[in-house]
């Protein structure tokens, strides 16, 4: 049976993630996948690289524990072979402080055998770092 097209896999992942269904999102991630959030883990505890579905699950659980999703809107999905690039318009509420961070970030995902093999997430690092300094980090006061 043929695998779904890479853009279809990413669309399903985004729908699950946007709805807060971490289990459905994880079902689309390869066992040996790599997720890299290109922000230092000194700024965000789930920043940096997570290797393997278990490590990715830990990072995704932490993201949802630290942030309320007000808006998660994928934009301009563009696929070329097994690579899918897109932007996400977002608005997140930092649970510990109640402050809102919004903007856009970019994601590049590589799909193999119908699963996400690698995801690279790029934010405006200076903006996120300034926000985290303002709110005092990600731990509750």
pLDDT in tens, the chain (141 residues): 789 999 999 999 999 999 999 999 999 999 999 999 999 888 888 888 999 999 999 999 999 999 999 999 999 889 899 999 999 999 999 999 999 999 999 999 999 999 999 999 999 988 998 999 899 864 433
Instruction: Kindly state whether residue 63 falls inside one of the protein's structural domains.
Output: yes
Phi, psi of 113 (to 5 degrees): 50, 40
5 Cβ contact list (under 8 Å, min separation 6): 79
Q: Check residue 43 and give its pLDDT.
A: 82
Q: Which residues of 8-24 are buried (b: 16+ CB within 10 A; e: fewer)?
A: ebbbbbbebbbeeeeee
pLDDT value of position 137: 61
Residue 138: per-residue pLDDT: 47
Domain membership of residue 141 (yes or no) is: no
Domain that holds residue 83: 6-134
Provide the CATH number for the domain around residue 36.
3.10.450.50
Per the domain annotation, does 65 fall within a domain? yes
User: Residue 140 falls within a domain, yes or no?
Assistant: no
The total of structural domains in the chain comes to 1
Q: Is residue 1 part of a domain?
A: no
């Amino acid at each position: 049976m043929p695998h779904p097209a890479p853009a279809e896999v990413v669309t399903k992942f985004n729908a699950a993630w946007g709805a807060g269904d971490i289990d459905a999102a994880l079902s689309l991630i390869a066992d040996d996948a790599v997720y890299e959030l290109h922000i230092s883990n000194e700024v965000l505890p789930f920043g940096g690289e997570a290797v393997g579905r278990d490590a990715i699950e830990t990072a995704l659980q932490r993201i949802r524990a630290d942030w309320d999703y007000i808006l998660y809107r994928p934009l301009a999905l563009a696929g070329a072979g097994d690579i899918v690039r897109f932007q996400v318009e977002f608005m997140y509420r930092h649970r510990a402080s109640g402050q809102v961070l919004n903007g856009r970030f970019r994601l590049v995902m590589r799909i193999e055998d119908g699963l996400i093999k690698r995801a690279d997430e790029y934010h405006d690092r200076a903006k996120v770092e300034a926000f985290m300094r303002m709110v005092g980090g990600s731990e509750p006061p």
